[in-house]
Amino acid sequence: MAEILALVEARLRSALGEPDARAAVTFLGTDRIEVLRFTGDGLVRYATLGMSASPMADPTAVVADPLRGPRAELLLTVRAGLAPTDRVLRPLAVLAASPQVEGLVVAPGASLDVGEPLWEGAPFTSVLVAEPGGLVDNLELDEPMEPVRFLPLLPMTANEAAWKRVHGAAALQEKWLARGTDLRDPLRTAVALD
């Protein structure tokens, strides 16, 4: 596991540069989850480190396979200096621990909710998991292990999350695109959903 996390951190550093801060959170009965912060070009990027140490297991499986199954880390990008976004460290760690705690398999198109604002004053309590491969390439591991995917998180307002439950992730992303929504704006309001 430690070898996998070392490879994951190396991949993050090669794609995003040197982290300028890191925090670690441990929840009862789970492995340690770290969140790394990368700043530059007017953006702040947060990346989890620890979620990929073990594969995510189907919650209905009798025994979890220690090698096979999807592996992922989470990425969140916001514009710097507009809001106190460093408070997102704990909610990100909670989301990254959810496969261990809740037996959740995190995949593109999923909604994840932390039940409180992602940071102080944030209009977002949940995120949409987007497709990997844009910012950080998948990290291939030795067979039979699946690659580590770096899943971008897109903050959603309560109205957007409710609309997504009815219409689906692709429809919400189309609305955002059609309206020119800046998904990196930590202060943005909900997109018009009419």
Taking only the tens place, the pLDDT of each residue in 98-154 is 998 888 899 999 999 999 999 999 999 999 999 998 899 999 999 999 999 999 999
- Classify 77 in phi/psi space as left (phi over 0), alpha (psi -120 to 50) or beta: beta
Q: What's the mean pLDDT when you consider all of the chain?
A: 92
Separation in Å, CA 68 to CA 34, 55, 60, 103, 147: 23, 6, 15, 15, 10
Section 77-93 average pLDDT: 94
In this prediction, residue 28 has a pLDDT band, given cuts at 50, 70 and 90, of confident
Task: Give me the DSSP letters along 126-159.
Answer: EEEE--SSSSS--B--STTSPPEEEEEEEEEEHH
Distance CA 153, CA 127 (A): 6
pTM, rounded to two decimals: 0.94
The yes-or-no verdict on residue 56 having pLDDT over 70 is yes
- Listed in sequence order, the DSSP H helices in the chain are 2-16, 89-102, 158-167, 169-178
**Hey, where are the domains in the chain?**
2-178
Distance CA 173, CA 131 (A): 11
What pLDDT is attached to residue 168?
A: 96
Which token pair is 6?
Answer: 């070392």
Please state, as a whole number, how many other Cβ atoms lie within 10 Å of the Cβ of residue 22: 13
* pLDDT confidence band for 184 (50 / 70 / 90): very high
